[in-house]
Amino acid sequence: MRDILKALVEIVGERGVSNTPEELWFYSRDPGVLTPHLPDYVVAPRTTEEVQKIVLLANREKIPVVPMGNGMSLTGLVIPLKGGIVLDMKRMNKILEVNAMARYAVVEGGTSQGVLKAYLQEHHPQLRHSIPDAPPTTTIAANAALHGQGRLTQQYGFNSEMVTGLEVVLPTGEICLIGSPSLGPYWFSRGPTMPDLSALFLGWLGTTGIITKIGMRLYPNKKIRDVELFVTDRVDLIPHILYKLTHLEILEDVNVWFQPKPLVFKGNYHITLYFTGDTEEEITFKRRMIWDTLQEYMDSKDGGFMSVQYMKDMLMEMPQRGIADFADVPKGGGFEYSGPITIIEHFPQYAAKVVELAAKYDVLYASSARLISGGHCMMFSISFAFNRNDPAMMTRVKHALDEATAFALEMGGIPWKPNFMEQKMTMEKMDPNALKLLQMIKKNLDPQGIMNPGNWEVNP
Amino acid sequence: MYALKWKEKICATCPSADCLLKCQYMSFAGHDEAHGEMMKVIRGEDSRVLHECATCYACEEYCKRGNHPFYLISERREEKGLFTAPRPITNQWINMTQMQGKCMAGAVKDKALSCCFIPDLGILGQGEIFKDVAPAAVFGAEYMCPAVHTHFARMSVIKERLPKVIENFVKLGAKEVICLHDECYGTFTAIADAYGIDVPFKPVYYMDFLLSRMKEMKDRITPLGIKVAYQRPCSNRLIPDKYPLVREILDLIGVEIPDRVYQGENCLCCGEILRSVSGYKLADDVQERNLNDMVASGASYCVFNCPACQSSLSEKVAKKGLKPVHIIDLCKMAIGEKEREVK
Ligand SMILES: Cc1cc2nc3c(=O)[nH]c(=O)nc-3n(C[C@H](O)[C@H](O)[C@H](O)COP(=O)(O)OP(=O)(O)OC[C@H]3O[C@@H](n4cnc5c(N)ncnc54)[C@H](O)[C@@H]3O)c2cc1C
Ligand code: SF4
Ligand code: SF4
Tens digits of per-residue pLDDT, A109-124? 999 999 999 999 999 9
| CATH number for the domain harbouring residue B284 | 3.40.50.1860
Which CATH architecture group holds A224-410?
3-Layer(aba) Sandwich (3.40)
Which one-letter DSSP state was computed for residue B337? S
Tell me which fold the domain A93-220 belongs to: 3.30.465
Residues B221 and B311 in one domain: yes
Q: How far is CA A330 from CA A134, A335, B95, in A?
A: 21, 10, 21
Closest atom of ligand 1 relative to the A113 alpha carbon: 21
pLDDT band at B339 (very low <50, low <70, confident <90, very high): confident
Q: Which of B173, B188, B210 is the last residue of a domain?
A: B210
Burial of B27 (0-12, 13-18, 19+ CB in 10 A): exposed
pLDDT at A1: 59
> Hey, which of B67, B71, B75, B76 would you mutate to test ligand 2's pocket, going by the most ligand atoms within 8 Å of its Cβ?
B67
Report ipTM for this prediction: 0.90
Residue with the larger pLDDT of the pair A374 and A321:
A374
Residues having CB within 6 Å of any atom of ligand 2: B 10-11, 14, 16-19, 35, 38, 63, 65, 67, 69
Tens digits of per-residue pLDDT, A131-151? 999 999 999 999 999 999 999
Interchain contact, A306 vs B92, CB within 8 Å:
yes
Indicate left, alpha or beta for B254 from its phi (over 0: left) and psi (-120 to 50: alpha).
left
Residues B106 and B60 in one domain: no
Ligand 1 contacts CB of residue A418 (under 6 A):
no
User: What's the rounded Cα separation, in Å, for the pair A43 and A54?
Assistant: 9
Among A352, A459, A344, residue whose Cα is nearest residue A412: A344
Amino acid at A265: F
pLDDT at A324: 77
- A302 in Cβ contact with A296 (< 8 Å): no
pLDDT, mean over chain B: 96
Name A4's Cβ contacts closer than 8 Å, sequence gap at least 6: A40, A41, A57, A61, A63
> Hey, which of A79, A107, A143 would you mutate to test ligand 1's pocket, going by the most ligand atoms within 8 Å of its Cβ?
A143
Decide if A412 touches B, using CB distance below 8 A.
no
User: What's the rounded Cα separation, in Å, for the pair B109 and B137?
Assistant: 11
- B268 in Cβ contact with B289 (< 8 Å): yes
Residues B257 and B327 in one domain: yes
Tens digits of per-residue pLDDT, B261-290? 999 999 999 999 999 888 899 999 999 999
Measured between CA atoms, the residue of chain B closest to residue A287 is B280
Tell me which fold the domain A2-90 belongs to: 3.30.43
Residues B200 and B270 in one domain: no
- Give the A window 299-318 contacts with B, CB below 8 Å: 301-307, 309-310
Tens digits of per-residue pLDDT, A61-79? 999 999 999 999 999 999 9
Tens digits of per-residue pLDDT, B130-166? 999 999 999 999 999 999 999 999 999 999 999 999 9
* Average pLDDT for A12-18: 97
DSSP string, A292-317: HHHHHHHHTTSEEEEP-GGGHHHHH-
Q: Count structural domains, chain B.
A: 3
User: For a pLDDT cut of 70, what percent of chain A falls above it?
Assistant: 100
Q: Which of B186, B210, B234 is the last residue of a domain?
A: B210
pLDDT band at B341 (very low <50, low <70, confident <90, very high): low
User: What's the rounded Cα separation, in Å, for the pair B302 and B321?
Assistant: 10
Which chain A residues are Cβ-neighbours of B311 within 8 angstroms? 309-310
Decide if B248 touches A, using CB distance below 8 A.
no
Classified as helix, coil or strand, A166 is strand
Domain regions of chain A by residue span: 2-90, 93-220, 224-410
Residues B50 and B135 in one domain: no
Q: What would you report as the CA-atom Rg of chain B, rounded to the nearest whole angstrom?
A: 20
Out of B86, B275, B311, whose CB is closest to A302?
Answer: B86
Residues B107 and B206 in one domain: yes
User: What's the rounded Cα separation, in Å, for the pair B26 and B285?
Assistant: 14
Tens digits of per-residue pLDDT, A356-398? 999 999 999 999 999 999 999 999 999 999 998 999 999 999 9
> Hey, which of B7, B14, B49 would you mutate to test ligand 2's pocket, going by the most ligand atoms within 8 Å of its Cβ?
B14
The residue segments making up the domain with residue B154 are 98-210
Decide if A39 touches B, using CB distance below 8 A.
no
pLDDT at A2: 64
In a domain, B23, yes or no: yes
User: What's the rounded Cα separation, in Å, for the pair A69 and B158?
Assistant: 54
In a domain, B114, yes or no: yes
* Average pLDDT for A207-220: 98
pLDDT at A116: 98
pLDDT, mean over chain A: 96
End-to-end CA distance of chain A: 25
Please give, one letter per residue, the 3-state secondary structure of A167-229: EEECCCCCEEEECHHHCCCCCCCCCCCCCCHHHHCCCCCCCCCEEEEEEEECEECCCEEEEEE
Classified as helix, coil or strand, B141 is helix
Residue with the larger pLDDT of the pair A32 and A216:
A216
User: What's the rounded Cα separation, in Å, for the pair B152 and B94?
Assistant: 9
Interchain contact, B276 vs A304, CB within 8 Å:
yes
Query: Does residue A326 carry a pLDDT above 80?
Result: no
Query: Does residue B342 carry a pLDDT above 60?
Result: no
Tens digits of per-residue pLDDT, A397-444? 999 999 999 999 999 999 999 999 999 999 999 999 999 999 999 999
Residues B108 and B196 in one domain: yes
DSSP string, A238-250: HHHHHHHHHHT--
Residues B324 and B224 in one domain: yes
Q: Which of B49, B79, B109 is the last residue of a domain?
A: B79
Tens digits of per-residue pLDDT, B239-264? 999 999 999 999 999 999 999 999 99
Determine how β-strand A17-18 pairs with β-strand A341-342: unpaired
pLDDT band at B343 (very low <50, low <70, confident <90, very high): very low
Among A322, A310, A315, A340, residue whose Cα is nearest residue A403: A340
In a domain, B343, yes or no: no
User: What's the rounded Cα separation, in Å, for the pair B68 and B53?
Assistant: 14
Query: Does residue A281 carry a pLDDT above 50?
Result: yes
Query: Does residue A218 carry a pLDDT above 50?
Result: yes
